[in-house]
Amino acid sequence: MKRVVTVTPNPAIDLSYQVAGITPGASHRVAAPLSRAGGKGLNVARVAHQLGHPVLALAPSGGAVGAEFAAELRSSGVPHRLVPVAAETRRSIALVDTVGGETSIFNEQGSPLQPSEWQALAAAVVEALDGQGAGVLVGSGSLPPGAPADFYPALVRLAHDAGIPAVVDTSGPGIIAAARAGADLLKPNNHELLEATGEGSLEAAARQLIALGAKTVLVSAGAEGMLAFHHEAPGGYWSARLPEPLRGNPTGAGDAGVAAAAVALASGVSDILTILRSATAWSAAAVLMPAAGEISPLYADLENQLILTWKETL
Amino acid sequence: MKRVVTVTPNPAIDLSYQVAGITPGASHRVAAPLSRAGGKGLNVARVAHQLGHPVLALAPSGGAVGAEFAAELRSSGVPHRLVPVAAETRRSIALVDTVGGETSIFNEQGSPLQPSEWQALAAAVVEALDGQGAGVLVGSGSLPPGAPADFYPALVRLAHDAGIPAVVDTSGPGIIAAARAGADLLKPNNHELLEATGEGSLEAAARQLIALGAKTVLVSAGAEGMLAFHHEAPGGYWSARLPEPLRGNPTGAGDAGVAAAAVALASGVSDILTILRSATAWSAAAVLMPAAGEISPLYADLENQLILTWKETL
């Protein structure tokens, strides 16, 4: 099977703390956090790797936090290549209130890369796509401040030049730019999709992206499951959901869905219903796990429980 | 002038985030934190160093977070010697709510050191006290889990073997143990003092420590200023406070007071009133600064404003 190559331009070390009750203004004693090299593309690579698929995760990494990021990634066993940069890798801090049940997240926004560092990251992508090993290219997550506006469209072009499909999962203007570049699959969530397109309905928004050039738009909608729009099926869309929503940790659920879609595309599967089923099941299986970047082995059972609906809209 | 040698057995990298309003359960975007090699003994060394006094800060440091800690400490210019250990250095996370005005702190408790690592830390202390350079030994802060119960008493003995005074600023049973070992100065805050001694009044509690063997007990009491008890003045105590309490960041204020006391002792000053005055002023000057380990240049003005009171109690 061919490799899933992921690119994470703004990775983070994810620090997850369990806190027995959070009191604003107080001092809290906490155990050492679960520390993990994170960022959406890393989560995609971890999930595909967990299920035995060949992967390569690409990301910039810098400073002392970057060294911590690199050390965790090495110990994870996920094949990767880090591009050294001057800027410190960012952190994302999750405070899991084990009494109140809520998780509060504090995401550092990331630091700008130098132009030569963006070139080095692009060169790492070109090298990863060289030869016959790569089956799909996935670009995931936010961009650090000062990133080239065409970063995601450029990834789509590099994938197509190498003859493989491109998946992009980002928010904001990057979604529109990736659609214009002809991305094979976009995976916004419902909020990101409406915000990026300015449309009032998910269907109008997904159709806008397809009109711009995207082939497939997979929309994650939390407990509502997922919707799938395809450029060759203009008359409606598929949706998939579980009979009952699952309780758990939704962080990284969308990334698990992207992992499923990427594994399908890397295996030569392009059938939209097959992709929607596995993406919805893997995404639900991620909710059952305490950390992003892992899915429960129940994913196959969950796939069998899915309720699939075709909604005719023309 | 002789060096202030500080020992911080459970140091931390302090990460301080500014958050524009904290909503429990939500995701927050934050800028990169102020990152600083912290722990109470580091704060003491930083303040003394800031005011031009020679210092040497000793601490264990380990793992990727320890590398981050070491890098920040190098760039700070504070003379130090780090003892490499296997355990990861801990973090302390401060979330400063710039809307609500409150600061919430999350302190990792630290990881156990190996017996050979405790020996290496003690050996580093012995080496730092060798020769004529050291003027005072300061042991500050919490102990990591599994620390030898006699860590602080052993520091006091090492100082006395070297012919220099010992200052200890910790909480819990370590205060009692340091008093029994004959510490020259203890600097608990009011809460720590009552908790460690089980007494109902600050005076009874301080007198208990002096009866056990402590020479001087300096008690920090927040906006109330500081109280000073001395073994040669059993009939009462001195207190010092500003006419009006200052608004600001009290984190590290106690450590600045310890820095003042340590600088005095290293300079051969043992007069209790002189120590109380400078400790109270430096502590107040720390409240005016955004981060622990720094004091405002207004410390001399603040010292001139102090209201000093002798309270006769016999």
> Using a CB-CB distance cutoff of 8 angstroms, which residues of chain A are in contact with residue B30?
106-109
Q: Looking at the domain assignment, is residue B14 inside a domain? A: no
The pLDDT, as a whole number, for residue A138 is: 98
Q: Which residues from A are below 8 Å from B91, CB to CB?
A: 15, 33
For helices A272-287 and A253-266, angle between their N-to-C axes, nearest 10 degrees: 140
| A267: its two tokens | 């295996």
Q: Classify residue B20: in a domain, yes or no.
A: no
Q: Is the pLDDT of residue B314 over 80?
A: no
A55-61/A80-84 β-pairing = parallel
Q: Judge whether A95 and B106 are in contact, CB under 8 Å.
A: yes
Secondary structure of A234-284 in the HEC alphabet? CCEEEEEECCCCCCCCCCCHHHHHHHHHHHHHHCCCCCHHHHHHHHHHHHH
Task: Please state, in angstroms and rounded to a whole number, the distance separating the CA atoms of residues A114 and A122.
Answer: 13
Give residue-wise pLDDT tens across range B17-49. Answer: 999 999 998 999 999 999 999 999 999 999 999
- Residue A44 belongs to a domain: yes
Number of independent structural domains in chain A: 1
Which residues of chain A neighbour B105 with C-beta distances below 8 Å? 26-28
Q: How far apart are CA A105 and CA B25, in angstroms?
A: 7
SS3 B75: helix
Q: What is the CATH number of the domain that holds A252?
A: 3.40.1190.20
Report yes or no on A294 lying in a domain.
Answer: yes
Q: Which residue of A91, A100, A108 is in closest CB contact with B24? A: A100
Closest CA to B89 of B120, B111, B114: B111
Query: B40 touching A, CB under 8 A?
Result: no
Nearest by CB to residue B111, choosing from A32, A63, A91, is A32
Count CB atoms within 10 A of the CB of residue A240: 24
Other C-beta atoms lying within 10 Å of the C-beta of residue A311: 11
Q: Are B12 and B42 in contact (CB under 8 A)?
A: no
Shortest Cα–Cα distance, A217 to chain B (Å): 25
CB A131 within 8 A of CB A157: no
Flag whether B171 is in a domain: yes
| Domain-embedded: residue A297 | yes
- Tell me the per-residue pLDDT of B254-283, one tens digit each, with 9 for 90 and over: 999 999 999 999 999 999 999 999 999 999
**A107 within a domain of the structure (yes/no):** no
- Asked about A255 being catalytic, the answer comes back as yes
Q: pLDDT tens digits for chain A (314 residues)?
A: 899 999 999 999 999 999 999 999 899 999 999 999 999 999 999 999 999 999 999 999 999 899 999 999 999 999 999 999 999 999 999 999 999 888 899 999 999 999 999 999 999 999 999 988 999 999 999 999 999 989 999 999 999 999 999 999 999 999 999 999 999 999 999 999 999 999 999 999 999 999 999 999 999 998 889 999 999 999 999 999 999 988 888 889 999 999 999 999 999 999 999 999 999 999 999 999 988 899 999 999 999 999 999 999 87
pTM, 2 dp: 0.86
Under a CB-based contact definition with an 8 Å cutoff, are residues B43 and B292 in contact? yes
Instruction: Tell me which chain A residue has its CA closest to the CA of residue B110.
Output: A32
Chain B residue with minimum CA distance to A64:
B68
Cβ–Cβ under 8 Å, residues B2 and B134: yes
Distance of residue B150 Cα from the nearest chain A Cα, in angstroms: 23
For A120-131, give the DSSP string.
HHHHHHHHHHSS
- State the Cα–Cα distance between residues A158 and A81, nearest whole angstrom: 18
Chain B, 12 to 31: residues with Cβ < 8 Å from chain A are 15, 17, 19, 22-31
Distance, C-alpha A135 to centroid of its chain = 17
Is A267 in the B-facing interface, judged by CB distances under 8 Å?
no
Q: Rounded to a whole number, what is the distance in angstroms from the first to the last CA of chain A? A: 38
Separation between Cα atoms, residue B208 and residue B218, nearest integer Å: 13
Residue B168 belongs to domain spanning = 3-9+42-82+112-312
Find out whether A61 and A85 touch, Cβ atoms under 8 Å. yes
- B64: chain A residues, CB-CB within 8 Å: 64, 67-68, 71-72
Which of B19, B76, B93, B111 has the most A C-beta neighbours within 10 Å, making it the best mutation to test the interface with A? B93
Using an 8 Å CB-CB cutoff, list chain A residues near B26: 104-105
> Would A32 be classed as within a structural domain?
no
The amino acid at A109: Q
Cβ(A188)–Cβ(A182) below 8 Å: no
* Best residue in B106, B108, B249 for a mutation probing chain A (most A CBs within 10 Å): B106
pLDDT digits (tens, 9 = 90+) for B110-165: 999 999 999 999 999 999 999 889 999 999 999 999 999 899 999 999 999 999 99
Q: What is the DSSP string of A39-58?
A: SHHHHHHHHHHHTT--EEEE
Q: What's the DSSP call for residue A8?
A: -
User: What does the block give as tokens for A13?
Assistant: 């070390």
DSSP A131-186: SS-EEEEEEES---TT--TTHHHHHHHHHHHTT--EEEE--THHHHHHHHTT-SEE
Q: Which residue has the higher pLDDT, B314 or A265?
A: A265
Helix (H, G, I), strand (E, B) or coil at B11: coil
Single out the residue of A95, A76, A84 nearest to residue A38, CA to CA: A76
Q: Which residues pair with B92 in a beta bridge?
A: B14, B107
Cβ within 8 Å, pair A30-B106:
yes
- Of chain B, the end-to-end C-alpha distance in Å amounts to 38
